[in-house]
Structure 1
Amino acid sequence: MFSEWSRTVQTLYILFSVCCFGVSDGLMKMCGEIIPESPVLQIGSNFTASCILYNKCVEKENIHANQIIWKIRDVPVPKEQYIVINDTVSNVTFNDTSTLASPLTCNVLMQGGIEQNIYGIQIQMGFPPDKPKNLSCIVFQIPKNDKLKEYNQTCTWDPGRETFLDTVYSLKSQWPDKFFPDCTPDRTNNSCTTDTVAFYVSLEVWVTAKNKLGEAESDHIVFDPIKHVKPLPPHNLSLNSGNFSTILKLSWENQFIMNTVDLKYEIRFKAVDSTDWMKVPPEDTINRRSAFTVQELKPNTKYVFQIRCALKGLHYWSDWSEKAFGFTAEGKPSKGPALWRKITTSVSTGNWILLLLWKLDPSEANGVIRTYEVSVMGKPPVSFPTSNYSLNTTQLLLNVQNGTYEVRVTARNSAGESPTSVLLIPAINSKAPVKNVTASPKDGKLWVEWEPPNDDVSKYIVEWYEHCDNVTCTSDWQQEPGTKRGTFLKGDIKPFKRYEITVHPLYINGQGQETSIQAYLQEGEPARGPIVRTVKVGKSKAVLEWKPLSVEEQNGFITKYVISYNTLTTNETGVSVGVEPFRTEYYLSSLSSDTLYTVQVTAFTKKGGKSGPVFTFTTKKFEEGEIETIVVPVCLAFLLVILLTVLFCFKKKEVIKKHIWPNVPDPSKSVIAQWSPQTPSKHFNSKEQIYPEGIFTNVSAVEIEADHEKSFSEQDMKPFDLVKKEKNASEGHSSGIGGSSCMSSPRQSVSDSDEGEPAQSTSSTVQYSTVVPSGYRDQIPSVQVFSRSESTQPLLDLEDKPEDQQALGRDDATPRLQYFKQNCNQDDTGLDGSHLERVKQIFPINEEDTSGIHNPPMCNSVLEISEHDTSFASAFHPGPEGPAVQSETITINSLTGDETPKCYLPQTVMQGGYMPQ
């Protein structure tokens, strides 16, 4: 808020000061002034300004000179440049005014921190004028009308350096006895024009320059205006050839007419299609004239002429006149047509297809060619008669024999005929060729140069065509005299196009072999880059191939190819390789396996290169054949191991068979099959006799679940119980060999039941075991050994003894049951302590199980075999290799849930069936 109040007070004070003190030179005068008022300073000089305070302001405002602040464009001047003279005067000094600018202001710091402007001045800086130099004057002839001519005089000078100030230049002139008014330039400082011109009187002229920093005056020159006249050019030009083919007559009218003064002329001319002007020698046109005849022109050619004039002996030439056009008359052709041929062999006849070509340059035709006279004559041994043709075309196609021909061509126009051109066409080019043919651009054209052969050449044929791929290109040619060693191609030669150039030397009596070269008028960068691809990729190498650019795409000669390749998965720096221009494939090596690479090919000419598209490929993880070198040996080693294993198995087949597939004796061929209870001699009373040491070689047991429920009817199953104890109890009493039937190993069997409960569906297992004696394989053991077999196959042959079958029938089940009970109670096991220990060693038995061996329980189970079960009896049949026993399991649903068998019935293999011991 205080700042706003201060700005308000300052504004009111300024308005009051303006009203009280007024305005001077556009700056407000308040309480003082600056001296000098509006200085004009030379750049680089010293300058001192003084700010003087008015006494009334000093007393009223209580300000002093030491409160003055100097500023340049609101930028304070360093106080080191201040000098306080007294209470009312303060000076500021600038040693170099080149840094000074406007405005320069004087300011006072008032009470309250308010800065008050006292006064300000504008400063002009510049240089004093230099002395004008090179003063010269010209009198121009100005057309007013056809009869009256006027002149004005223009003087020019060099004003020197820029002054940066308003400088007045004045052109002063006088006669010896008369001064002329000054001529002041309107817009420029270096020329002035006056219309007062007097001839034949000496005129003194000089220039003055003046500004606020000084004055200057040029040197005085004295001249006669008549000698400084620039006349108007001749006009109304006309050209006439008459009947001459090399002459044109030029006529004109002069615009400067003064009998006392002679004019000189300068004439220039050229053919319309040319860029070079030719001039008539000045000495031929020095006299006054209004016409001139130009000679040695070309016949039937259009020319353009111009002329200018000047006063004789002076150098102020007039401007060139307007252009005048004219034609020369026709003349006889100056040269015979250039003659050439193209030969191809006919496929059908083997003869030549001869194409004769000729041309005549317009500059040599000297008119319009009306006809060409062509003569073709065969040389012996060719029997081709002389043929004459009159044509208005420039080619002739003939079908001729292979051989030598002489061709003559003459051109004819309205003025006459040309010299005859002769071409000898030999069967072969047997003469010497030119040497070291080169072609290069020169002056915007294509220059061809060669070295001549040692023999004299009558003329050269230079043939060229634009090279194009797979296209028959149109050729052009030109004839050069035999004295030349080089020439410019005269056709339409285009940049960035490749030309095939051939030089043929022609002799009087034959032709020389051609020599060819390729060249460009101008080369550029290729239009596109090569497209690269991989031909073969390996683990650490790759073969790249690219198709060469066509000639149209090259835009120059390919100098080299640069192959750049890098990986995408790493930050490695790319690799660049230069390749010769004639190669189109490259072999990359030292690559990383199983890595993605990018590759790009750039084609270069002399003017630059162009890159083709980027191609990516991935190296292989394994080299070609590397997998085979690993897999094949491994497979061979594996096969070798298998072969060795098979050989070993064949060699050790008996051992392998013993451990893996042991021989199971046939129970029907066992000696136990010969034992019968009816034969007392076959009872064994001694356990040592039954089980001598070392007779057991192998014991095997196989359990097979089989459903034979259908073999028993409900009525048949009532008297039987199935032991509840299954395999766990069976493992405790595994054999029961050599003892009472009650001591046989626990197993599931059928039993009778006093209660009439139906049989449950639990499975019962009938076990068979086989004991193989050491005297197996056709050897009769010393002691007949038997064991209870756990095979499900029947051990009975009931058909042999019908009486046994009747004894086991269903009708006499009761007597059989009593018989089994009596025998089961007999203590005929004959197991003593030594034999029990031996049994434990062979078949481990729990202690709880062995306790029942000495006191066998009474058998409460009764085994009843129905007639249907008699089919089991055919399971055992003697074999030629001795007894063998098959172990199987028969499952019978005969146990009730609450009954437990008290022992196992003894089962003895007999020919007649199962009988008690």
Structure 2
Amino acid sequence: MNGDTKQMEWKWNLSHIFRLFLLMFAAYSRIIAELPEKVKNVSCAFILSEHSILCTWHPVTPVKLDTKYIAVLQDHRWKKEFEVKNGQIFSEKTGIIETLNITITTKNNVGNTTSDVLIFDSFSSVKTDAPKITSIHVTCSSLTVAWQVEKGIYFDLMCQLKYRKADVQQWTQVVQLIPLMESQRESNYTIGELEPFNNYSVSVSCKGNSQIYWSEWAEEKSTKTLEDAPRKAVDVWQFTESADAAGRRRVHLIWKELDSSSAQGNILGYIVRCKSKEHFCEEIQADCCNTSVSITAESYIFEVFAYNSAGNSPGATLQIPEENWQDITSSKEVWAFPENQSFWVNWTAPDESTVSEYVVEWCVDTEPCIRDWQHVKNSTASFLQAKFLPFKCYNISVYPIYESRPGKPKTTQVYLKEAAPKEGPNIKETGVTKTEAIIKWEPIEKEKQHGFILYYAISYNISGQRFFKILNVTTLEYKLHSLTPGTEYIINVKVVNSAGESGNVVVLTTLYLCYRSTCGHQFQIHPKVSWESG
């Protein structure tokens, strides 16, 4: 064999050896990869009611090969092995005074791994059954919870409570531990400083003084605290009509419902009392949330109380000045601006320095005016906490309050958002002669204006010449001159605000030249026609 042949054979053998090495390395890598993962975090407790050990661990990552899990329990006298499932709870009967070594061995075709040894002391690992809540005694601000633990407990316990309101996710846990002696099976605890007339859920958990595991929480029980008298006065306001011929005035009292936390129960009704120096009003029982009282020209003090089954709220006081009370001035100026779907209101304070607060009142400028209001202290500005509608005109008034007595209001009008008027002027038929015509129209209804009316406009043609006239908002008619007898005219009448315009068209024919007083004319109204120039 020559040298070249030997060299080629040597290279072939080297290549074959290298390929064999790669195959062996790949096989070894697969074997290593398929070794079972070691079980970790083994945890065991002694279940007292069953006298058994209950163990769990975090499930290991599954492998492709078939894998078995063997639990091994042993002490100095005996050893026991049995198969369990991956990460599943398993239990084994044993005595309460035991010390065991516990491991979990994972086996497959490739090999096995074993968890770290858990040294298990059954007495210190006792876990009792969840206690049972036997009763709950309620007051308006507390719950006294009674519970019972299982029989057969021969060591001292400590317990803890948790509670929460029905509309709250998070539990409040009573930090204080409640001792329960070996001779006791029952105990109780009072949870205080709760809110009246609210639903609460409670639960209890216990453990031995020398043990590490708390029991499961007892089955939740729910109850409701009792009612208490409303803790807050209602927010009351008024508007007063002028005196009639007999000198009597009608006061309309309005107030807001208390929220549930202030009502502290079901509000059954309202009591209204009033008095002057000379008169006491008959006590009025009212439903929510207004009443009217006829009074004389004197100054009156009103009190409004909400009540439930537990009692009355504090009284809300409001004073109505005498009819001729003129010595208190109003705020000098009031401004309102749209902001974030509401209004920002500010005003200048009156010269009188004894103002205790202000009331900002608002309502849509239509009848009836449904009033809303809010109180402002130590400020001459406020953001209104309410929902407002676009295209509605709001009257916003600011009242200075002098020791519960309202002064004169200062009022402004404002729109949250404007739009073109909903419809054009409603044109009425009027006098037409041979050379003149008078066009009249009705004012736009407030709810159809959708903004502040800036002006009216008239547009028409005479002999090919276009005439255009702007009229102020108080003008509701216009006279056309120099018309041609027997001629048809198209007149556009529109109403304009800052957001747009709406118009109507009227078609009329002037009288013919004739010698009879019975000569007729034509007048046609074409409503809701879009404005056209020319």
TM-score (norm. length: structure 2): 0.55
Report the alpha carbon displacement of residue 422 of structure 1 after superposing the two structures with TM.
Answer: 1.0
Counterpart contact for 1:153–1:196, Cα < 8 Å: no
Report what 2:75 is aligned to: 175
CA 434–255 in structure 1, closer or farther in 2 if over 3 Å, else same = farther
Report what 1:258 is aligned to: 153
Report the alpha carbon displacement of residue 194 of structure 1 after superposing the two structures with TM.
Answer: 2.0
2:42 counterpart SS class: strand
Counterpart contact for 2:243–2:297, Cα < 8 Å: no
Match of 1:154 among 45, 55, 61: 55
2:124 counterpart SS class: helix
Partners of 2:383 and 2:211 lie apart in 1 by: 44
Report what 1:508 is aligned to: 403
Report the alpha carbon displacement of residue 351 of structure 1 after superposing the two structures with TM.
Answer: 8.2
CA 124–310 in structure 1, closer or farther in 2 if over 3 Å, else same = same
1:226 counterpart SS class: coil
Amino acid at match of 2:93: T
CA 180–94 in structure 1, closer or farther in 2 if over 3 Å, else same = closer
Partners of 1:257 and 1:369 lie apart in 2 by: 50
Report what 1:388 is aligned to: 282
Report the alpha carbon displacement of residue 327 of structure 1 after superposing the two structures with TM.
Answer: 4.4
Report what 2:66 is aligned to: 166
Counterpart contact for 2:331–2:399, Cα < 8 Å: no
Matched, 1:225 2:122: yes
Partners of 1:460 and 1:200 lie apart in 2 by: 76
Counterpart contact for 1:172–1:182, Cα < 8 Å: yes
Counterpart contact for 2:390–2:415, Cα < 8 Å: no
Report what 1:211 is aligned to: 108
Report the alpha carbon displacement of residue 175 of structure 1 after superposing the two structures with TM.
Answer: 1.8
Q: Which has the higher contact order (CA 8 A, sep 6+)?
A: 2
CA 360–325 in structure 1, closer or farther in 2 if over 3 Å, else same = same
CA 214–470 in structure 1, closer or farther in 2 if over 3 Å, else same = farther
Partners of 1:336 and 1:167 lie apart in 2 by: 72
Alignment of 1:211-610 (within 5 A): 211-241=108-138, 245-255=140-150, 257-270=152-165, 272=166, 274-275=167-168, 279=172, 281-283=174-176, 285-287=178-180, 289-312=186-209, 316-343=213-240, 353-358=250-255, 359-367=257-265, 372-377=270-275, 385-394=279-288, 395-399=290-294, 405-412=300-307, 415-425=310-320, 430=330, 508-511=403-406, 583-584=499-500
More helix, by proportion: 1
Report the alpha carbon displacement of residue 202 of structure 1 after superposing the two structures with TM.
Answer: 2.0
Partners of 1:356 and 1:264 lie apart in 2 by: 54
Report the alpha carbon displacement of residue 250 of structure 1 after superposing the two structures with TM.
Answer: 2.0
Report the alpha carbon displacement of residue 507 of structure 1 after superposing the two structures with TM.
Answer: 5.3
Report the alpha carbon displacement of residue 389 of structure 1 after superposing the two structures with TM.
Answer: 2.0
2:58 counterpart SS class: strand
Amino acid at match of 2:287: T
Partners of 1:319 and 1:366 lie apart in 2 by: 34
Amino acid at match of 1:391: Q
Amino acid at match of 1:262: L
More strand, by proportion: 2
Amino acid at match of 1:156: W
Report the alpha carbon displacement of residue 480 of structure 1 after superposing the two structures with TM.
Answer: 9.5
Counterpart contact for 1:450–1:486, Cα < 8 Å: yes
Matched, 1:191 2:88: yes
Partners of 1:210 and 1:149 lie apart in 2 by: 30
Report the alpha carbon displacement of residue 193 of structure 1 after superposing the two structures with TM.
Answer: 0.6
1:337 counterpart SS class: coil
Report the alpha carbon displacement of residue 190 of structure 1 after superposing the two structures with TM.
Answer: 2.4
**Residues 792-846 of structure 1, C-alpha deviations (whole Å, 9 max, x = no match):** xxxxxxxxxxxxxxxxxxxxxxxxxxxxxxxxxxxxxxxxxxxxxxxxxxxxxxx
Alignment of 1:633-672 (within 5 A): none
CA 267–518 in structure 1, closer or farther in 2 if over 3 Å, else same = farther
Counterpart contact for 1:138–1:155, Cα < 8 Å: no
Amino acid at match of 1:154: C
Report the alpha carbon displacement of residue 134 of structure 1 after superposing the two structures with TM.
Answer: 2.2
Report the alpha carbon displacement of residue 356 of structure 1 after superposing the two structures with TM.
Answer: 0.8
Amino acid at match of 1:424: Q
Partners of 2:65 and 2:397 lie apart in 1 by: 72
Counterpart contact for 1:232–1:256, Cα < 8 Å: no
Amino acid at match of 1:255: E
Partners of 1:438 and 1:357 lie apart in 2 by: 26
Partners of 2:421 and 2:235 lie apart in 1 by: 46
Match of 1:138 among 37, 45, 55: 45
Equivalent pairs, count: 401
Structure 2: give runs of 5+ residues left out of the alignment.
1-11, 423-446, 451-497, 502-531
Partners of 2:103 and 2:74 lie apart in 1 by: 9
Counterpart contact for 2:159–2:177, Cα < 8 Å: no
Partners of 1:433 and 1:138 lie apart in 2 by: 77
Report what 1:129 is aligned to: 36
Counterpart contact for 1:135–1:158, Cα < 8 Å: no
CA 299–134 in structure 1, closer or farther in 2 if over 3 Å, else same = closer
Aligned-residue Cα RMSD (Å) equals 6.0
Partners of 1:363 and 1:305 lie apart in 2 by: 20
Whose radius of gyration is greater, 1 or 2? 1
Partners of 2:108 and 2:174 lie apart in 1 by: 51
Partners of 1:203 and 1:517 lie apart in 2 by: 85
CA 486–280 in structure 1, closer or farther in 2 if over 3 Å, else same = farther
Counterpart contact for 1:504–1:515, Cα < 8 Å: no
**Residues 760-786 of structure 1, C-alpha deviations (whole Å, 9 max, x = no match):** xxxxxxxxxxxxxxxxxxxxxxxxxxx
Report the alpha carbon displacement of residue 434 of structure 1 after superposing the two structures with TM.
Answer: 11
Partners of 2:37 and 2:398 lie apart in 1 by: 68
Partners of 1:488 and 1:234 lie apart in 2 by: 52
Amino acid at match of 2:285: L
CA 470–251 in structure 1, closer or farther in 2 if over 3 Å, else same = same
Partners of 1:411 and 1:299 lie apart in 2 by: 16
Counterpart contact for 1:431–1:510, Cα < 8 Å: no
Counterpart contact for 1:334–1:366, Cα < 8 Å: yes
Partners of 1:474 and 1:195 lie apart in 2 by: 74
TM-score (norm. length: structure 1): 0.35
Partners of 1:435 and 1:350 lie apart in 2 by: 35
Report what 2:515 is aligned to: none
CA 95–179 in structure 1, closer or farther in 2 if over 3 Å, else same = closer
1:388 counterpart SS class: coil
Counterpart contact for 2:103–2:114, Cα < 8 Å: yes
Amino acid at match of 1:389: E
Counterpart contact for 1:153–1:194, Cα < 8 Å: yes
Alignment of 1:86-97 (within 5 A): none
Partners of 2:73 and 2:133 lie apart in 1 by: 38
Alignment of 1:866-905 (within 5 A): none
